[in-house]
Amino acid sequence: MRNLKFFEAIREATAISLRDDPSVYLVGLGVPDPKGIFGTTEGLQSEYGADRVFDMPISENAMTGVAIGSALVGMRPILTHQRVEFALLSMEQIVNQAAKWFHMTAGKKNIPLVIRMIIGRGWGQGAQHSQSLESWFAHIPGLKVVMPATPYDAKGLLISAVEDNNPVIFMEHRWLHNTFGEVPKRKYKVPLGKANIIKSGKDLTIVSHSYMSIEALKAAMIMKEHGIDSEVIDLRSLRPLDTKTIIKSVKKTKRLLVVDNGWTRFGVSAEIISSVTEKIFDELKCSPSRIGIEDVPLPSTRALAVHAYPTPSKIVKAAAKLLGLQIKLSKEQKKSDPLDQPDQNFTGPF
């Protein structure tokens, strides 16, 4: 099977969507530029033309409305933002307009729209370039929110998102773009709203999403060396949320740890834990637990930022606590904790 990087999988899914449906177009700041949104849009303009793949003014709010308007009359836009924070300028259009139109018109008009947003981390980007705000969007009825963690899912989910008849927020973690994985050449879809068990196990369930699924998996491997057999669920979609898969797993393991990709308060982990405890409180052997980004704005300096994120070590520690165990990590095991870059080979741009 063929291996692709995550960013290449996104580019391939976009190319397929442009190829197969003339109503699809791609717009965003820097889409046709030489770096092509971290490689995800590279070459697409020369392949599909400047009338379907184009740049825009720094007018995120207006351009979101423009995308919505074009969707109303039959187009299927993909709008990209290099950081989640730039999309914040368009919250009104996303929350009041895109998310509500189908409802307000009693189903007469739907908005097929994909908005890609990239979550930054590391290299001192600080408070305004490294926020994980997925729960804002997942809070809104009428929006769908997907967050792939693997190249395979990135391609399959993006194709599904483009074909979906609703506004879909497609969030990518910048630290995933250079990860590798198997990606079939053919067109395939990963359904929205379906979680994926990326490691099965019996001792506890770890639920995570986006980049944190990678960290959770690393943690699970470390735990395995200590005799703990954890099950790791990668959510893939936040809305719709696949509570069925989560509950089935927790019913088996009786223990739940959620590793949040964002802040925990009022966030994804809050929702997962509520959904589980509402349904199967009696079946849990202990209180569920969660970790996420520390409850502070992200500082620029690496001296502090490095302590703000969940790491494999922290995840193992939290899991051990749930199980009433003490685990001492070896030096080698601690090495998998990243500092302010995903790995030494990654030199940006961030």
Partner 1 sequence: MDNKLIKDQFFQMLRIRKVELKISELYPEEEMRCPVHLSVGQEAVAVGVCSALQKKDIALSAHRSHAHYLAKGGDLKSMLAELYGKKTGCAEGKGGSMHLIDLEAGLIAAVPIVGSTIPIAVGSAWGNMMQDKSVTTAVFFGEGATETGVFHESLGFASLHNMPMIFVCENNLYSVYSSLEVRQSNKRNNIKIAEGHGIVSLKGEGNDVSSVYGVIKESISIIKKQKGPVYVEFDTYRWLEHCGPNDDDHLGYRKDKEVKKWKINCPIEKTKDYLLNNKLADEKEIQTVSLELDDEIEEAFEFAKTSPFLDKKHLYTSIYSD
Ligand X SMILES: Cc1ncc(C[n+]2csc(CCOP(=O)(O)OP(=O)(O)O)c2C)c(N)n1
Binding residues for partner 1 (CB under 8 A): 29-30, 32-35, 54-59, 61-62, 85-86, 89, 123-129, 294, 296-297, 299-304, 307-308, 340, 348-350
The DSSP line for 88-118 is GGGHIIIIIIITTHHHHTTTS----EEEEEE
Q: How far is the CB of 328 from partner 1 (least distance, A)?
A: 21
Per CB under 6 A, does 29 bind ligand X?
yes
Per CB under 6 A, does 86 bind ligand X?
yes
Name beta bridge partners: 3. Answer: 182
Kindly tell me which of 136 and 152 has the beta carbon lying closer to partner 1.
136
Q: What, of partner 1, ligand X, none, does residue 299 touch, CB below 5 to 8 Å by kind? A: partner 1
Q: How far is the CB of 246 from ligand X (least distance, A)?
A: 35
Kindly tell me which of 326 and 344 has the beta carbon lying closer to partner 1.
344
Q: What, of partner 1, ligand X, none, does residue 141 touch, CB below 5 to 8 Å by kind? A: none
How far is it, in rounded angstroms, from Cα 262 to Cα 132? Answer: 5
Query: Which residues, 243 to 302, sit near ligand X by CB under 6 A?
Result: none
Q: 207 with 196: CB under 8 angstroms?
A: no
Strand 3-5 versus strand 24-28 pairing type = unpaired
How far is it, in rounded angstroms, from Cα 12 to Cα 334? Answer: 35
CB pairs under 8 A, 24+ apart, for 262-265? Answer: 262/131, 262/132, 262/133, 262/134, 262/135, 262/292, 262/293, 263/132, 263/135, 263/292, 263/293, 263/295, 264/290, 264/291, 264/292, 264/293, 264/295, 265/295
Q: Interface with ligand X by CB under 6 A: which range of 82-90, 146-154, 292-300, 331-339?
A: 82-90
Q: What, of partner 1, ligand X, none, does residue 261 touch, CB below 5 to 8 Å by kind? A: none
Strand 230-234 versus strand 76-81 pairing type = unpaired
Kindly tell me which of 277 and 341 has the beta carbon lying closer to partner 1.
341
Per CB under 6 A, does 211 bind ligand X?
no
Give the active site residues. Answer: 60, 129
Q: What, of partner 1, ligand X, none, does residue 285 touch, CB below 5 to 8 Å by kind? A: none
How far is it, in rounded angstroms, from Cα 97 to Cα 68? Answer: 8
Kindly tell me which of 82 and 166 has the beta carbon lying closer to ligand X.
82
Kindly tell me which of 39 and 126 has the beta carbon lying closer to partner 1.
126
Per CB under 6 A, does 58 bind ligand X?
yes
Per CB under 6 A, does 38 bind ligand X?
no
Name every residue whose Cβ is closer than 8 Å to that of residue 242 and which is 6 or more positions away in sequence.
Answer: 193, 194, 195, 235, 236
Residues lying near ligand X in the complex (CB under 6 A) are found at 29, 58, 60, 82, 86, 89
